[in-house]
Structure 1
Amino acid sequence: MEKTRVFLVDDHEVLLAGLTYIINSQPDMEVVGVALDANYAVNAVAAMLPDILLLDISLPDLSGLHVIDTLKERAHKTKIIMLTMYDDEGYLSEAIRRGAAGFILKQSPQTEVINAVRNVVNGMTYIDPVLAGNLVCDFWQKASGGPARLELTRREVDVLRLLALGYSNKETADELVVSVKTIQSHRANIKAKLNLRSRAQLVCYAKDRRII
């Protein structure tokens, strides 16, 4: 099986070592080079033409965004996934506008890096779920004017918090020591009170009211 060739760029050696170990542990990918600065990275990537470039957005000598621009000419077939510490939608939109195919938060689980590489090498765009969730919430709040400000009961807040954290109806029922039918009833009441239709909107409301 031909492996996905990955090049890593970050000015933190510990992070590079960790990413190298994670990627080389996968049967379908391998690290073919690393760099601590942008200038070395640009020349190395242009020479090696890896499938994927995992690129820190903040480098000491040159912004990762400028690296994207430079590599458009010198390594246009290499797909770029940006790495950042900051969940800033401005960085995300600018990176995508310049041609990045993915955007990952450094603090995300290791599985997100692997998922990003596999998705991007197959022609898809990959956005870290945390950022994607923030974008959905921003879009929904702008489109709808934000959630209704009706007060929930204490028990409804408890139910909403667990559902927004990803608990299933059964897991929520077990946590609160009630029946699944009771949770379904609370969930229906919450949606009706707040005029919400989906779990994504429940999550957005919970974030907006600092319930999670």
Structure 2
Amino acid sequence: MKAIIQRVTRASVTVGDEQISSIGRGVCVLLGISVDDTHADAEYIVRKILNLRLFEDENGRAWSKSVMDRNLEVLCVSQFTLQCILKGNKPDFHSAMPAELAQPFYASILENMRSGYKPELVKDGRFGASMQVHIQNDGPVTIEVVSPTASADPRQLSKQDKQQQRKEKTRSKGPSESARERGALRSRHDTNASSGAEGDVSSERET
């Protein structure tokens, strides 16, 4: 599954002359479902949409808060063309999930998103319709998120997610004591090694 997540100041969806949904500040998500996607893919994408830190905090620090942290809105639009494969210059959409399967699958994604957040803050387009999507991108900020491949070990994926979260916390708090100690030891070691190496080189040159 692929999602294009855009930070917006406002966004809306129009079908014909009818505006069917609109949001203020938040994220507009274009969502492409592939034939191989499962509910595990959907859960992964929903977590990322709701938890990506695309917004500033109350002190103006960038990349600190998610839509859930800020109680912002989400506009989700089904976009099968994200599963395009080019054959020369012709787009091919056979990797996209067929509409009769994708529609209930997409509906379940919206339901999961609403149950994991605030239902009134999650809007969507009209599945299968010819839509005009009006987006005022804020930044611009556009993030592509692709769910892990089905062949990957779920336990390993969970471990990778936890490792990434630890890295993010470490970056926000600065280097740990152990990291600083390792750096200091490595620096002393490199200095000694460098001195010895330079002595060896100079003696070789003298001979």
- Normalised by the shorter chain, which TM-score bucket? under 0.3
> What TM-score do the two structures reach when normalised by structure 2?
0.25
> What TM-score do the two structures reach when normalised by structure 1?
0.24
Q: Which has the higher contact order (CA 8 A, sep 6+)?
A: 2
Q: If each structure's helix is expressed as a fraction of its own residues, which one has the higher value? A: 1
